[in-house]
Amino acid sequence: MANDSLRSLGLDVPVPFDVAGPPVPVLIAEWEWRNPLRTILRVSGWTIDDVISSPGIAREVRMHWRATKMVERRARDRERRAQLREEIALLEFLVGCRRQGLPVPCAWCGCLEPCSCDSLAS
């Protein structure tokens, strides 16, 4: 049962689940979808010859390929937006600390004394 759920996640390797025993060593496996074309062909059972000779199969493989790339793009965009949100929150925190007079370096120029950047932040 556990192996079926692992296969649905793209893992063909059985993972030990010994909870009471010693710590389990870290398992490093290559992600199957790193090479999406090979994975699409393996999961569907087609060969590259099938894709070349049949326009219908080629369309379906192209659809899976585009869906994979769209998911990758969205994940990259989500990570980029999360990183920007974190940077903005840090800048707002530093600016707020400087407004209270705390000895925090300026977020823009790095100086501890009052600077011209403080007037820009307000």
pLDDT by residue, tens only, the chain of 122 residues:
455 555 655 656 555 555 566 666 766 666 666 788 888 888 889 998 998 899 999 999 999 989 989 988 999 999 999 999 999 998 888 888 888 888 888 777 878 777 777 666 55
Is 110 contained in some domain? yes
Which residues form the domain of 56?
A: 33-121
pTM of the prediction? 0.53
Query: Tell me, what's the pLDDT at 7?
Result: 60
Asked if 23 and 16 count as a contact pair (C-beta separation under 8 A), the reply is: no
Helix axes 36-44, 55-99, angle to 10 degrees: 130
Query: Tell me, what's the pLDDT at 25?
Result: 72
Is 3 contained in some domain? no
3-state secondary structure of 45: coil
Query: Tell me, what's the pLDDT at 13?
Result: 56
Is 23 contained in some domain? no
Cα-based torsion angle of the residue sequence 58, 64, 67, 69 in order, rounded to the nearest 10 degrees: -80
29-62 residue pLDDT tens: 666 667 888 888 888 899 989 988 999 999 999 9
Is 88 contained in some domain? yes
The structural domain count of the chain equals: 1
Distances (CA, A) of 17 to 2, 21, 74: 9, 9, 33
Query: Tell me, what's the pLDDT at 103?
Result: 82
Is 111 contained in some domain? yes
CA distance 118 to 122: 7
Which residues does 8 contact at the CB level (< 8 Å), separation at least 6? none
Query: Tell me, what's the pLDDT at 75?
Result: 92
Q: What angle do CA 35, 42, 10 make, to 5 degrees?
A: 65
Is 5 contained in some domain? no
Query: Tell me, what's the pLDDT at 56?
Result: 92
Is 7 contained in some domain? no
CA distance 61 to 111: 56
Is 38 contained in some domain? yes
